[in-house]
Amino acid sequence: MMLPTHALAGMALALPVAAVAPEAAPVAFLAGLLGGVVPDLDLYVGHRRTLHFPVYYTVGAAVAVPVAAVVATPAAVAVAVFLAAAALHCVADVFGGGLELRPWRATADHAVYDHFNGRWIAPRRWVRYDGAPEDFLLSAALAGALWGPVGAAQEPLVAGAVAVAAAYAALRRVLPGVVELLVDRLPDPVVGRLPARYRESGASAGGRVRSPNGR
């Protein structure tokens, strides 16, 4: 799933907080946003492995949520929502497409790395790929659910996420070709720092396929 969907889904986890403790809602929505985004900060460094911890985030959330319900401090609520959002992000990626430049081809068998069991989890493809029409519809539905409860201060975040989601969904199938053109023109040292899916993409486009050392 695309990043805006993860961000909005994380924020949606704060809706129960807004219902029972409105004073904690702003920090809860922000924590949900961050929890939904942080796992994808590994996009160019071991994507869906370096910062994706489907088991550990889930265990952390299972501990933090009841603690927050009892303690009910802003910090406890923020930690609980953050961990729950990060866990949801990682688990949701399992139900999306595989880790490949053109995930609609469904050729990759890596969705998310399970550090606890030491293996990759295969993609389920309920949402066929990040930026698919159903992915955008999910973003729009989440935004609709959030629009009133988040309040005027955070409504621009929701609107911005939907706008990014719409643009990404519209361009998603064009982007791999753009990436291939750019990679083929980059210096070898730069290409060597890119994820393998970008370096190897030239094979399907007739471009150069370069190893990290430039050969």
Domain membership of residue 195 (yes or no) is yes
At position 10, the amino acid (one-letter code) is: G
Same-domain pairing of 188 and 147: no
* Pair 64, 79: CB distance under 8 Å: yes
If asked whether residues 125 and 182 sit together in one domain, one would say: no
pLDDT for 152-207, tens place per residue?
A: 999 999 999 999 999 999 999 999 999 888 888 888 887 777 777 776 655 444 44
Residue 194 lies in a domain: yes
Q: Is residue 168 part of a domain?
A: no
Task: Compute the distance between CA of residue 204 and CA of residue 118 in angstroms, rounded to an integer.
Answer: 30
- With cut-offs at 50, 70 and 90, classify the pLDDT of residue 61: very high
The Cα-based distances of 184 to 88, 102, 181 in angstroms read 36, 17, 5
* pTM for this entry: 0.89
Same domain for 145 and 186, yes or no, is no
Three-class DSSP category at 169: helix
Residues 152 and 121 occupy one common structural domain: yes
Average pLDDT over residues 18-40: 97
66 part of a folded domain: yes
Whose tokens are 């698919």? That residue is: 132
Q: How many domains does the chain have?
A: 2
Do 150 and 60 lie in one domain? The reply is yes
31 with 82: CB under 8 angstroms? yes
User: Is 186 exposed, middle or buried (CB count within 10 Å of its CB: 0-12, 13-18, 19+)?
Assistant: middle
Integer Cα distance of 42 and 96 in angstroms: 17
Do residue 187 and residue 157 come from a single domain?
no
Q: Tell me the C-alpha distance between 47 and 66, whole Å.
A: 31
Residue 213 lies in a domain: no
On whether both 200 and 132 belong to a single domain, the answer is no
Q: What is the mean pLDDT of the chain?
A: 91
Query: Both 59 and 151 in a single domain?
Result: yes
Q: Does residue 116 form part of some domain?
A: yes
Convert the pLDDT of each residue in 114-152 to its tens digit: 999 999 999 999 999 999 999 999 999 999 999 999 999
